[in-house]
Each structure stands twice: as C-alpha cells, then as structure tokens.
C-alpha cells in the first residue's frame, strides 16, 4: 500500500492570482464567441480576493491532489493512473496535470481565500495561479 503522503523532492512553490468580476460582456472575449460579435467588449476588474495554488515536487511518480476548502484528497500512483480515472474529484487540477504531463510526482493544492464572500470561486483566477505554479517548475522556458 502506498504511503499517505510522498516525500517532497524539492521546494514548495506558491502562486496567487486575483479574482475577476465581470461587469459586461462575460465570456465574449473567448474564441470562438468573439467571432460572432464583432467589436464586442468585455469589462471586468480584479478584486482584492486572491486565489492561491501550491505545488510540491514529490520523489517518484505519485500525484496527490489536495483541496483544502472541500477537505477532499485524491492520490494516484502515477500519471497513467490519473489519465485512466473516469471522474476525478478535482477536475480542474486533474486536467492541468494531464495537460502538462509531469515526469515526476507532485502534490497540488488549491488554497481557499480565508475571506468570506458570497459566490462561487473564480475558476479563471484559480487556473491562472495553477499555471503560474506549473510554469515556475518548468525546466525550460515555455
């Protein structure tokens, strides 16, 4: 049986990104939606509410996904096991790990903002913080 938590193989890296509030336009800045609305604009602003993501390289190939706000944990022996998972409990994190296909193990932890606020988390900003962390681990420039 695999250990509950694998041994870290490097420093933990943390990144943050501000949440965004859309005032007008919503997602029309995304392809292909903007193709159907020539000249359309999106108006949004950053909030002082940060999303945070932490990643720790692990010895071996084990992948650990931890959600501190939902207290869910999901572990995979390696990338192949994650790729074979039909319904991961941490879909955004699982998709990012699949996309980047790390060669070594890692622990990925999205961290909730301690500030109470009404609404769902801003997944765009959570994704930005997640990618910032991943790029900082890249051995070469991306």
Is residue 5 in some structural domain?
no
Closest listed residue to residue 106, CA positions, set 52, 66, 51, 69: 66
Closest listed residue to residue 89, CA positions, set 61, 113, 67, 58: 67
| Whether the predicted pLDDT of 118 surpasses 70 | no
Sequence-distant (≥ 6) Cβ neighbours of residue 84 within 8 angstroms: none
Over residues 58-98, the pLDDT tens digits come to 999 999 999 877 788 999 999 999 999 999 988 888 888 89
- What are residue 49's phi and psi, to 5 degrees? -115, 115
Q: Domain residues for 106? A: 13-137
Is residue 127 in some structural domain?
yes
| Whether the predicted pLDDT of 18 surpasses 70 | yes
Is residue 3 in some structural domain?
no
Is residue 6 in some structural domain?
no
| Whether the predicted pLDDT of 123 surpasses 70 | no
Counting beta carbons within 10 angstroms of the beta carbon of residue 76, is it exposed (0 to 12), middle (13 to 18) or buried (19 or more)?
buried
CATH code of the domain covering residue 55: 3.30.230.10
| Whether the predicted pLDDT of 99 surpasses 70 | yes
Domains contained in the chain, number: 1
Give the least confident one: 67-71, 113-117, 128-132: 113-117
């Amino acid at each position: 049986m695999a250990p509950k938590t694998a041994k870290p193989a490097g420093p933990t890296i943390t990144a943050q990104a501000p949440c965004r509030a859309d005032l007008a336009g919503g997602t029309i800045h995304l392809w292909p939606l903007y193709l159907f609305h020539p000249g359309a604009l999106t108006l949004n602003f950053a909030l002082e509410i940060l999303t945070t993501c932490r990643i720790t390289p692990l010895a071996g190939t084990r992948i650990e996904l931890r959600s501190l706000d939902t207290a869910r944990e999901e572990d995979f022996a390696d990338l192949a096991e994650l790729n074979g998972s039909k319904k991961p409990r941490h879909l955004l994190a699982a998709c990012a790990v699949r996309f980047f296909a790390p060669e070594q193990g890692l622990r990925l932890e999205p961290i909730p903002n301690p500030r109470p606020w009404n609404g769902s988390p801003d997944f765009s900003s959570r994704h930005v913080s997640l990618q910032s962390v991943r790029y900082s681990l890249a051995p070469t420039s991306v």
